[in-house]
Amino acid sequence: MSSRKCKYDADAFCYICGQFIKVRDVKYELKTSYVLCEAYEAYFDCPVRHQDKPWAPHVACSYCKRCLEGWYRGEKRSMKFAIPRIWREPKDHVNDCYFCIVNPRKRRSGKNAKPIEYPDLESSSAPIAHDLTRPVPEPPKKLSQKSCSSLSSNKKATRLLKLDVICTKQ
Ligand SMILES: [Zn+2]
Ligand SMILES: [Zn+2]
């Protein structure tokens, strides 16, 4: 793909749901959101990926964070989808680039506001909703061994390192 800049920065969008995060809204860096990364992996059964690439978002919206972390803690919460948005390297900026195609500016505020359209592209496949074959997963019964070990501070550093690998590995 050419190195031309995209219309929008990848980090203007949520890695998990792909929705545009308004400039004034809070976004959470995945790199430092260890619990969120753990919850993501537990819920969707795949690790957070591509955090070393410019063509995937590196942040999450507050809605996804609240939902996933709440579910992980055992609260009655679930995501709207069983499979999150999946990111791949775009082939070009015109037909296959989420960050050039999604246009949050088109939206007017107010009652008749048209929702932002989020395409399903080769480089960015849309989330897939829960259904009978894709039920909401059971939250972990208790915190995993991994999480418990983090409570002792001498192991904390190793754990953070490990998670960093999870979050950045392809
Ligand atoms: Zn682009
Ligand atoms: Zn989100």
Domain ranges, ordered by start, for the chain: 10-168
- Confidence grade of residue 2 (pLDDT, cut at 50, 70, 90): low
* CA dihedral sign, ordered 79, 25, 124, 36: negative
pLDDT at 93 over 70: yes
CA of 92 to the centre of ligand 1 (A): 7
Cα 139 to Cα 65: distance, rounded to the nearest angstrom: 15
Report which of residues 1 and 46 the model is more confident about. 46
- Confidence grade of residue 106 (pLDDT, cut at 50, 70, 90): low
Opening angle at CA 42, ends 41 and 45, nearest 5? 65
Instruction: List, for residues 114-154, the tens digit of each pLDDT value.
Output: 789 999 999 999 999 999 999 999 988 765 545 544 444 44
CA of 118 to the centre of ligand 1 (A): 14
CA of 102 to the centre of ligand 2 (A): 15
Instruction: List, for residues 24-66, the tens digit of each pLDDT value.
Output: 999 999 999 999 999 999 999 999 999 999 999 999 999 999 9
pLDDT at 71 over 50: yes
pLDDT at 91 over 50: yes
Amino acid at 103: N
* Nearest ligand, measured from the Cα of 14: 2
Neighbours of ion ligand 2 (CB under 5 A): 14, 16-17, 61, 64
* Nearest ligand, measured from the Cα of 21: 2
Per-residue model confidence (pLDDT) at position 150: 45
Torsion of CA 122, 127, 133, 138, to 10 degrees: 140
